[in-house]
């Protein structure tokens, strides 16, 4: 019983361990995506947990017309959107520390290349977090999850052309936010 369809059938017939196998199969992938989309590990954990609870409750409604992960992802994105509407994020040192689990990096360049890489990574994360959720989600799915345009279109229930245009706008917005970093590397 290794494929999703068999596990779903077993879970529907009253074998919760089968659903546990589905959770084990997809929790890391979903959590990684949610950290980037939600902006904090704490929010991602809560959304992931709520996603699997909702999926278990609504498992009877899964129609197999898409992949199980696609269905699960839609639940997660709906929950993330609801959470964003309820909780408007505020940027503070404490919030950044909680979100990343690390101390914010001093923006002054350090003598070591490793510190400079960390600084650039922090700037990219901050720029990504500053994008609106629609654009951040598209970038995460394409660049981090390495999904095809078609897979993203299916997940978000939008045409592939819309994926392309949103991705283009998201990249342009990210480029603009990172312009200061790019100028610093050129000089």
Q: How far apart are the first and last CA of the chain?
A: 58
At 49 the pLDDT is: 94
- Per-residue pLDDT of 91-140, as tens digits, reads 566 666 666 666 655 554 445 667 777 777 777 888 888 888 889 889 88
- Per-residue pLDDT of 86-97, as tens digits, reads 765 455 666 666
Contact yes or no for 43/88 (Cβ under 8 A): no
Q: Would you identify the CATH topology of the domain 1-91?
A: Rna Polymerase Sigma Factor; Chain: A (1.10.1740)
How would you classify residue 44: left for phi > 0, otherwise alpha for psi between -120 and 50, otherwise beta?
Answer: alpha
Instruction: Read off the DSSP letter of residue 61.
Output: G
Contact yes or no for 14/60 (Cβ under 8 A): no
- Per-residue pLDDT of 28-74, as tens digits, reads 999 988 888 887 888 899 999 999 999 999 999 998 888 899 899 99
pTM (two decimals): 0.58
- What CATH architecture is 105-187? Orthogonal Bundle (1.10)
Domain limits, the chain: 1-91, 105-187
């Amino acid at each position: 019983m290794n494929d999703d369809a068999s596990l779903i059938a077993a879970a529907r017939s009253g074998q919760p361990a089968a659903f546990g196998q589905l959770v084990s199969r997809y929790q890391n992938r979903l959590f990684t995506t949610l950290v980037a989309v939600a902006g904090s590990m704490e929010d991602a954990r809560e959304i992931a947990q709520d996603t699997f609870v909702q999926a278990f409750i609504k498992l009877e409604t899964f129609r197999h017309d898409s992949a199980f992960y696609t269905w699960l992802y839609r639940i997660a994105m709906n929950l993330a959107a609801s959470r964003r509407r309820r909780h408007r994020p505020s940027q503070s040192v404490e919030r950044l520390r909680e979100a990343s689990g690390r101390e914010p990096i001093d923006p002054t360049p350090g003598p070591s290349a490793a510190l400079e890489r960390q600084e650039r990574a922090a700037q990219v994360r901050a720029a990504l977090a500053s994008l609106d959720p629609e654009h951040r989600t598209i970038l995460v799915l394409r660049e981090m999850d390495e999904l095809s345009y078609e897979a993203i279109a299916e997940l978000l229930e939008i045409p592939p052309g819309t994926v392309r245009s949103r991705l283009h706008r998201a990249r342009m917005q990210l480029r603009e936010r990172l312009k200061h970093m790019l100028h610093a590397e050129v000089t």
